[in-house]
Chains A and B, each alone.
Chain A
Amino acid sequence: MTLAHLLEAEHISKYYGNVVALKDISMHVDAGEVTCILGDNGAGKSSFIKLLSGVHQPDAGRLLVEGEEVRFGSPRDARARGIATVYQDLAMVPLMSIWRNFFLGAEPRKGVRPLRWFDAAKAKRIVHRELREMGIDIRDPDQPVGTLSGGERQSVAIARAVYFGARVLILDEPTSALGVKQAGVVLKYILQARDRGVAVIFITHNPHHAHPVGDRFVILNRGQSLGAYEKTEIDRQELVRLMAGGSELAELEHELEAIKAEVG
């Protein structure tokens, strides 16, 4: 047997009634690596995340953590194995402050049972320190998360997952709703997390976001895998071509040129 991967999916399939959502998908990720799951809308990316994060269970195939087969009954089970998921829209509670959000569900407490309270001073101190260590530039931990930009929200959510000891970080379309500059900021934090030894699974439909940060690329199309490639095996052009299924390539390239010109 080869050396076990930190998280591995083996021949995973998922059916919703008679609909085949995913068929025979395999992938793996190791500490300090970024595996990108690429696919267009409806390719099965969301279903795949839900299997990895314990929201749903696969109908066929196995999930392995460090070579050991696991079955996640709930997201809580996945978290207990160090697998944290940051969702695109559901990362934070907008009306709550950054420090309240950061510790939501894992509030530090002080005092003596049964009279214990939320150690707000400690929470604020840690948030300040953690965000600075990740190089995240926020204005004031007391401000409601709703006042942050989309990129800042994703960044804080990533910092939170890293702080709470995530070994595998699943990012669901963290850059898709963002502008070019904002997306760049989030990509930077993905690399930050990777450099701290976190295994990152980066789900996106954008090959231009995936290629610079990914070590490995798995391309999904209509619930099936078009193959898994190491970074050395595939260049950006080829990734784009696979993503677009080849056919609409000319049109796409034209658009991309326009975007490139815009970014300058």
Chain B
Amino acid sequence: MTETTAAGTPPDERLVRVGPLSRLLTRPDIGALLGAIAVFLAFAYFARAVDWLSDPGIAAGWTDQAAQYGIVAVPVALLMIGGEFDLSAGVMIGSSGLLLGYLTTFQDMNVWPAILLVLLFGLVIGFINGITVVKTKLPSFIVTLATFFVLQGVNAAGTLKLTGQTAIQDIDTASGFESARRLFAGDLTHYDFKVKVLWWIGLTIVGAWLLAKTRFGNWIYSAGGEPNSARNVGVPVARTKIMLFMMTSGTAALMGIIEALELRSMQAKEGIGLEFIFIICAVVGGCLLTGGFGSVIGTFFGAAMLGMVQLGIVDSQWDSNWTFTFQGGILFAAVMLNTLIRSRAQKAR
């Protein structure tokens, strides 16, 4: 939109004409996009032994990995913008997958109703996290750390007691398995692209729309930015935060379902460690640890970047243990860049 001040008024003298580049640099998601492009081009060089740039099989590999991170990173980013953390988001993937396995193999349930129960389970755990944080006013870091450890123990002990092993097997023997697998964990027709990637893109679009274009999105920003001010003007801050926790655990449950259907079995320690990857994706995407600022689109690029690193290191024939070092480096670089971008966005122009 062009200048709409009253006719005849000259443009405000305090408004310096801002070049498109510096205007772009006040957006939280640009850093992540530039980073993703940089990582992509870097591996075009380092992984030149494979056809990194144009082999669809390679792209299918890293997008699969990126979707693994990016699906849950969407609600984790919203939660962080809302001013809270969820450290139980990783272990919830394991718990949900194991629950699906238990219901379908030990209770002989059809996969479809089992999926509904697992999603409900995710929402309930999220509700418990949320209500505990809101009522006790304890840091969510501590509350969800407790949830994390409780679930970790339940996953390991429960699986061992049920199966005598560390995994629940043979989920594909359940009725309804094939149809559910097609929707959640199938291949798209060409080049082994996973349907999971569509879930990732879809959830990103929904999350970005929610944040930018809805009343709830406005409440998320305010709940993380200045909860007291928000409460003063009538924003239901507690309800907003509880909803965010439910979305996070619910999406982790969805991820557990996807993994269980894809792998046809579920390991007891599945998902552990991913909670930090989700947070890295969100931080790379421009989310502040203190809340109130961030981007779902940026988080999408953050997940893409981490997916590329994971596969690129293998394709470059490096020791895959370097992945962690790369992830740490990306996190650090992203935080530095975000601090810069935020101070540009916040300071008087």
Whether A79 touches B225, Cβ cut-off 8 Å, given contacts A109-B215, A117-B213, is no
Interchain CA distance A85-B218 in the complex, whole Å: 21
Kindly supply a per-residue 1/0 record for chain B positions 229-254, scoring 1 wherever the CB is within 8 Å of any chain A CB and 0 otherwise. 11111110000000000000000000
Kindly supply a per-residue 1/0 record for chain B positions 175-218, scoring 1 wherever the CB is within 8 Å of any chain A CB and 0 otherwise. 00000000000000000000000000000000001000111011
* Inter-chain contact A144/B345, CB cutoff 8 Å: yes
* Inter-chain contact A107/B218, CB cutoff 8 Å: yes
Contact of A106 (CB < 8 Å), options: B221, B231, B234, B347: B234
Question: Which residues of B, 329-349, contact A by the 8 Å Cβ criterion?
Answer: 345-349
A93 at interface (Cβ–Cβ under 8 A)?
yes
B6 at interface (Cβ–Cβ under 8 A)?
yes
A105 at interface (Cβ–Cβ under 8 A)?
yes
Whether A87 touches B213, Cβ cut-off 8 Å, given contacts A94-B226, A146-B346, is no
Question: Which residues of B, 1-30, contact A by the 8 Å Cβ criterion?
Answer: 4, 6, 12, 14-15
How many A residues touch B, CB cutoff 8 Å? 32
* Inter-chain contact A117/B214, CB cutoff 8 Å: yes
* Inter-chain contact B12/A93, CB cutoff 8 Å: no
Contact of A92 (CB < 8 Å), options: B4, B217, B226: B226
Find the residue from A76, A96, A104, A117 having the highest chain B CB count within 10 A: A104
* Inter-chain contact A85/B232, CB cutoff 8 Å: yes
* Inter-chain contact A147/B347, CB cutoff 8 Å: yes
Whether A90 touches B226, Cβ cut-off 8 Å, given contacts A103-B218, A147-B348, is yes
Q: Tell me how far the C-beta of A173 lies from the nearest C-beta in chain B, rounded to whole angstroms.
A: 15
Interchain CA distance A101-B233 in the complex, whole Å: 10
* Inter-chain contact B226/A100, CB cutoff 8 Å: no
Which partner residue on chain B sits nearest A117 by CB separation?
Answer: B213
Q: Which residues of A contact B214 (CB under 8 A)?
A: 116-118
Interchain CA distance A143-B213 in the complex, whole Å: 17
Interchain CA distance A96-B349 in the complex, whole Å: 15
A91 at interface (Cβ–Cβ under 8 A)?
yes
Interchain CA distance A120-B214 in the complex, whole Å: 9
* Inter-chain contact B233/A105, CB cutoff 8 Å: yes
* Inter-chain contact B230/A105, CB cutoff 8 Å: yes
B105 at interface (Cβ–Cβ under 8 A)?
no
B302 at interface (Cβ–Cβ under 8 A)?
no
Interchain CA distance A106-B14 in the complex, whole Å: 30
A32 at interface (Cβ–Cβ under 8 A)?
no
Q: Which residues of A contact B209 (CB under 8 A)?
A: 117
* Inter-chain contact B229/A92, CB cutoff 8 Å: yes
Q: Which residues of A contact B230 (CB under 8 A)?
A: 93, 104-105
Contact of B349 (CB < 8 Å), options: A79, A116, A132, A147: A147
Question: Which residues of A, 112-145, contact B by the 8 Å Cβ criterion?
Answer: 116-118, 120, 128, 132, 137, 139-140, 143-144
Interchain CA distance A147-B345 in the complex, whole Å: 8
* Inter-chain contact A94/B225, CB cutoff 8 Å: yes
Q: Tell me how far the C-beta of A136 lies from the nearest C-beta in chain B, rounded to whole angstroms.
A: 13
* Inter-chain contact A91/B218, CB cutoff 8 Å: no
Q: Tell me how far the C-beta of A32 lies from the nearest C-beta in chain B, rounded to whole angstroms.
A: 25
* Inter-chain contact A118/B6, CB cutoff 8 Å: no
B293 at interface (Cβ–Cβ under 8 A)?
yes
Interchain CA distance A48-B229 in the complex, whole Å: 19
B94 at interface (Cβ–Cβ under 8 A)?
no
A258 at interface (Cβ–Cβ under 8 A)?
no
Interchain CA distance A143-B229 in the complex, whole Å: 18
Whether A104 touches B233, Cβ cut-off 8 Å, given contacts A95-B221, A118-B218, A143-B349, is yes
Contact of A93 (CB < 8 Å), options: B234, B292, B347: B292
Interchain CA distance A118-B233 in the complex, whole Å: 17
A75 at interface (Cβ–Cβ under 8 A)?
yes
Q: Which residues of A contact B345 (CB under 8 A)?
A: 144
Interchain CA distance A95-B343 in the complex, whole Å: 11
Whether A118 touches B292, Cβ cut-off 8 Å, given contacts A90-B229, A93-B230, is no
B222 at interface (Cβ–Cβ under 8 A)?
yes
Kindly supply a per-residue 1/0 record for chain A positions 235-263, scoring 1 wherever the CB is within 8 Å of any chain B CB and 0 otherwise. 00000000000000000000000000000
Q: Tell me how far the C-beta of B21 lies from the nearest C-beta in chain A, rounded to whole angstroms.
A: 18
Q: Which residues of B contact A144 (CB under 8 A)?
A: 345-346
Which partner residue on chain B sits nearest A86 by CB separation?
Answer: B232
* Inter-chain contact A118/B217, CB cutoff 8 Å: yes
Interchain CA distance A90-B347 in the complex, whole Å: 19
Find the residue from A87, A93, A137, A147 having the highest chain B CB count within 10 A: A93
B163 at interface (Cβ–Cβ under 8 A)?
no
Find the residue from B4, B228, B232, B346 having the highest chain A CB count within 10 A: B232
Contact of B213 (CB < 8 Å), options: A90, A93, A95, A118: A118
Interchain CA distance A104-B12 in the complex, whole Å: 26
Which partner residue on chain A sits nearest B221 by CB separation?
Answer: A96
Interchain CA distance A100-B14 in the complex, whole Å: 22
Q: Which residues of B contact A90 (CB under 8 A)?
A: 226, 228-229, 232
Q: Which residues of A contact B222 (CB under 8 A)?
A: 93, 96, 104-105
Can you name 7 A-B pairs with beta carbons within 8 Å?
A92-B226, A94-B346, A96-B222, A104-B222, A104-B235, A106-B234, A116-B214
For the complex of A and B, the 8 pairs showing the least CB-CB separation, nearest first, are A105-B234, A105-B233, A93-B225, A107-B215, A93-B226, A95-B292, A90-B229, A117-B213
Residues of A participating in the B interface, judged by any CB pair closer than 8 Å: 75-76, 79, 85, 87, 90-96, 100, 103-107, 109, 116-118, 120, 128, 132, 137, 139-140, 143-144, 146-147
Known: A103-B218, A104-B218, A147-B349. 6 other contacts (CB 8 A): A95-B346, A117-B213, A117-B214, A120-B213, A128-B4, A137-B12
